[in-house]
Amino acid sequence: MNNVVPIRIVAALLAIALSAFGSAPLHAQTLTRADALQVAESYIHHQWQSSDKNLRHGPDSHGVQIHTPDRPGGHGSPEVACWEVGASNAGVAYKWGGFDTPESFDKGVRAGKAAGDVYTPDERRLGGNAVSGDAVGIDCSGFVSRCWKLPHKYDTSTLAEVCQKLPSPDQLQPADIMNTEGGHVILFVKWLDDAKTRALFYEAAPFSKTLSSDREIADLKAAGYTPMRYRKIRD
């Protein structure tokens, strides 16, 4: 008996196997909504101790400007939630271009690195050239990328590559996002009213830190936010 498998059969089997994988990257990982919210809350509730060594307002060792979101001295108005010097703080500091975990953030803080770097128009203009290696923290898209356990950091312009757009914010479920391409992104947590006009979100706030925020859906729509869902998420 001839034991050689005909080429056409091998080709058919390969086609079936490839169709099972589809076009999704092999490294993409499925996670649950509860998993994503658990990661988010590890950032929101993260406790860390600051010192004056973590303050920075001016150029870093390579000439990149840093402004930490501390109080006093940080950018933004007095009511913005910032971290305080020489105190126990909650929430990982915002850093433009940041992708730290709570553990790597703590390591950097202990090493005397700047705790965060607030958003400025100059940083938006300079892009990656404005990301300082002398600061630690997380930015808005880095936060979402960590919550979804993505293999690398996506930004607000590339998150669409791993998402599907939702027809309406009414369809938001926990760990979905509201995103503005080239702007800001926030993680949906839950509805705050039956009419679905208000909701709780988690975010890395550009002048602050990781925190929870109560948002009006009408305001988000008016500001150009788009509801999106990570393709690999499940209930």
- Percentage of residues of the chain with pLDDT beyond 70: 84
Q: What is the pLDDT of residues 219-228, one digit of tens each?
A: 999 999 999 9
- 103: its two tokens: 């553990």
- pLDDT computed for residue 50 by the predictor: 97
Across the chain, what does the average pLDDT equal? 88
pLDDT at residue 139 greater than cutoff 90: yes
Predicted model pTM: 0.86
What is the Cα–Cα distance from 128 to 65, expressed in whole angstroms? 13
Q: What is the pLDDT of residues 37-94, one digit of tens each?
A: 999 999 999 999 999 999 999 999 999 999 999 975 455 455 578 999 999 999 999 9
Q: DSSP per residue over 92-113, as a string? A: PBBBTT-B--HHHHHHHHHTT-
Which backbone phi and psi does 195 adopt, to 5 degrees?
Answer: -80, -5
Out of 66-75, 131-140, 178-187, pick the least confident: 66-75
- pLDDT computed for residue 228 by the predictor: 98
What is the Cα–Cα distance from 98 to 105, expressed in whole angstroms? 10
Out of 19-33, 136-150, 198-212, pick the least confident: 19-33
Q: Which residue has the higher pLDDT, 3 or 211?
A: 211
pLDDT at residue 14 greater than cutoff 50: no
- 49: its two tokens: 């101790």
Domains of the chain: 42-144 (no CATH), 154-234 (2.30.30)
- pLDDT computed for residue 30 by the predictor: 81
Which runs of consecutive H residues, i.e. helices, occur in 64-195? Answer: 102-110, 121-126, 140-147
